[in-house]
Amino acid sequence: MGQNKGLIIAPGLDSYLVTHSLNSEQPTHVAFIVTEKSIELLPKILSQITYQPQEVRKFFVKDTISFVETIQEFFNALYWLTETVHIRDVVVDATDVLTSMAFPLYFGASFIEVFKDLIHEDVDIKLILTNCDWVSSSADSHLYGAPIIGTEYTVELEPPINGIGFILAVLANDLFNEGYYPRAQRVLEILGKRMSGEQHLLYEQLAQAAQGYDAWDKFSINSALSLLQGVRDHLHHMRTLYASSMLERDIAKSIACLEQLVAGDALEHIVDIFENAQRRFAQGRYDDAVARYYRCLDMMGQYALSVYGISTQSPNFSILDADVVENYKKARRGDLPNIYKDGVGGIALRDAFLLLYCLGDPLGIMYKEHEAQFMGMITLRNQSLLAHGIKPIFQDQAEKFRDMIVLPFLTALLDKEGRDIQEMRAHHQFPFFPTNVKQLFLTYSMMNHPETGSFDHKNSPRSLWEVDIREVISTIHPSDADRTAYRAARPDGSELELAIDDVVVFLHGSGDITVEVTAQSFEHIFSRHVRAQEAGGIFIADSLEEIFRLAARYLPEHLDFENKQSIALEIETEAVVGTEGVISTQAILDRGIVSEEDMTALNHAREDVFILNCSGSLDQKKDFVAQCNKELGKRNVRLGLRAEAIVPHYKAPRPQTKKIFMALGKDQSTDGNEHIRMYTIAPGRAMEKLPNDESFIGVSALFEKRKNGEELTPEETELIAEQQKSQECWWSHGFIE
């Protein structure tokens, strides 16, 4: 019979299927999972098989509906086969047993087979199904069947890794997102090696991407660039797969950044070490993070001095004006160290910023203004275990080091050089691999059916709405200041004029329900959520046709307005659809983009903003915003106007989102009829109406009425409450620029 083979089998109350399975597989060692009833069949089964196993063992399950007991006996059987008998090939057959037992048996076997590389199980498990043909009969209005003995057959089930391998992908992606790149690479390599069909191609590239980002994280820039370029080239041929197209965009951004690092862009290297420190901070490695924040400061000093021809490694002070050198000596409270005099020896960090101060450099002046605070933070670093001391650094200390010293100096340096800090930081941040099980299953596991995971949802069987595009438009913009007419261009370059109520897209639902997208809404969605001409969420899709097919897929079959004129829908999709344009204050604080000090400065304007959003004119709002932003200076938060409402705006990287927000309403058209219209669709969360929404017209008068002691109607009280809720919502959130 060749090498040893094990069979774990659970007999039912008949012997013919079990007998066929044994004769078909001819295992040398058999583990029967039995109950108090099925154990009686074993002598009959063993007498009917056509060969003699070397060894047979019984593993008894008393409670047949106990998942725990059945799976425990499965592992006992597996241990016997693999650890005692040292069998590597194991077959599992649980087709002729109660479902309550079959499920844990197949589950346990699938678990071991999927995770065997990680848990170091040297075993190959094959799942089989044994069945036969049946003859059906009916009597007394009942349908029943009988097996046709002699027609038994065995089918090998698909390898478990193909069906539930996405669980390993969740683990790998989580490891990647937490910064454990080699471990993520290992898990992804397992998937790339063992998956069948097209799935293994993507996992192979994900593994190489993890390797590339690991190299980048360790400052092996050339190696990282080469690895990620290889990933990009392979992904280019996989663009029918949604997951690969998403990854390709991230890889392309990373490659562009790495190319700048290879080219020696000093500012890019400074931002790179800052983001490297951020990753250590996110892992809770605060000593390591501060060591890298410190190096970021050091690199800033080096760069700023290089502009004046000074190398901090071997400074030559003879090229500086004599008065600068004298001022530098005084600032140091004495003569220059001997190692400086002959142009040898490095300049320490503090001395570098002192010299910048003597040179009149903005960074040096900034250092002098915050010298005590600066040196206090440097002392904290110097006393740490990774510097010269033995003290650990805690989270709050690392946050202060970053927010009080490093980030303000980095912002000032990049502003001076005309570079956008948030844009640069975003380029150096590593992509986020999805860890949502549903999203992974639909985008990674179903790649033999790419339309399921693709952004192009036009063939989706779930779509309950038909998309009817009347005009294919590539660009659109208002043709007058009042936005009552629009000029659009078709893909062939021809143009057309559209009135505000002209319908460009129809979404036809069940019955007579139709949702219209007018030229006004079409331009709104296009300018804000495709071309990103204002702060807000941005779709991945390049065309509005794809976006409206997305809307058709997720619009509910019934639109319940509940006696309201408009409804807002927030829907979770299976895959990332774009980047979000709104972020909460707490999230922006947690990500270190703004500090508590920044938010305190902003909150001074809170009451005035609430008042202006109720009763202020547009000119009053503009003047207030301008004055407030002047006081806020170059912080990463400012005030801005959105549809004439004052709301916070943040300079920050946009997080990916798989949520979409849709707003629909009932409108009276110029034809006098009521129409259901889509006002907007955007990636991201649902938010309250803006505080100056037309539904809040008259709220300022109601505030005055209440102030004068007049009684409000329940409807008026509710309107005030709704407007206040809107104000609070938008003050605790803001648009991402």
pLDDT, tens only, 209-223: 999 999 999 999 999
- Regarding whether 76 and 97 lie in a shared domain, the answer is yes
- Regarding whether 133 and 12 lie in a shared domain, the answer is yes
Predicted pLDDT at 138 = 64
Q: How confident is the model at residue 338 (pLDDT cuts 50, 70, 90)?
A: low
Q: How confident is the model at residue 8 (pLDDT cuts 50, 70, 90)?
A: very high
Can you spell out the DSSP letters for 18-82? HHHHHHHH--SEEEEEE-TTGGGGHHHHHHHSSS--SEEEEEE-S-TT-HHHHHHHHHHHHHIII
Phi-psi region of 554 (alpha: psi -120 to 50; beta: other; left: phi over 0): alpha
pLDDT, tens only, 267-311: 999 999 999 999 999 999 999 999 999 999 999 999 999 999 998
pLDDT at 21 over 70: yes
Predicted pLDDT at 415 = 92
Predicted pLDDT at 2 = 56
Structural domain boundaries enclosing 59: 6-157
Mean pLDDT of the region 173-196: 93
**pLDDT exceeding 70 applies to what percent of the chain?**
90
pLDDT at 31 over 90: yes
- Regarding whether 464 and 368 lie in a shared domain, the answer is no
| Average pLDDT, rounded, for the chain | 86
In a domain, 433, yes or no: no
- Regarding whether 415 and 277 lie in a shared domain, the answer is yes
pLDDT at 448 over 60: no
- Regarding whether 705 and 623 lie in a shared domain, the answer is yes
- Regarding whether 371 and 276 lie in a shared domain, the answer is yes
What CATH number did the domain enclosing 69 receive? 3.40.50.10770
In a domain, 61, yes or no: yes
Q: How confident is the model at residue 97 (pLDDT cuts 50, 70, 90)?
A: confident
Mean pLDDT of the region 141-149: 72
Which one of 248, 264, 280 terminates a domain?
A: 264
- The answer to whether 686 and 592 are in contact (CB under 8 A) is no
- Regarding whether 519 and 370 lie in a shared domain, the answer is no
Which one of 264, 293, 316 terminates a domain?
A: 264
- Regarding whether 45 and 104 lie in a shared domain, the answer is yes
In a domain, 505, yes or no: yes
Mean pLDDT of the region 702-731: 86
- Regarding whether 629 and 570 lie in a shared domain, the answer is no
- Regarding whether 603 and 565 lie in a shared domain, the answer is no
Q: How confident is the model at residue 533 (pLDDT cuts 50, 70, 90)?
A: low
pLDDT, tens only, 216-247: 999 999 999 999 999 988 876 664 444 555 57
Place of tokens 């900034």: 366
In a domain, 446, yes or no: no
Predicted pLDDT at 30 = 97
Which one of 205, 239, 264 terminates a domain?
A: 264
In a domain, 426, yes or no: no
pLDDT, tens only, 111-136: 999 999 999 999 999 999 998 888 87
In a domain, 566, yes or no: yes
pLDDT, tens only, 547-572: 888 888 888 888 888 778 888 888 88
- Regarding whether 614 and 723 lie in a shared domain, the answer is yes
**Which of 223, 184, 195 minimizes the C-alpha distance to 113?**
195
Mean pLDDT of the region 596-615: 89
pLDDT at 463 over 50: yes
In a domain, 132, yes or no: yes
Number of domains in the chain: 5
- Regarding whether 477 and 403 lie in a shared domain, the answer is no
Predicted pLDDT at 447 = 43
In a domain, 564, yes or no: yes
Predicted pLDDT at 292 = 95
Predicted pLDDT at 569 = 87
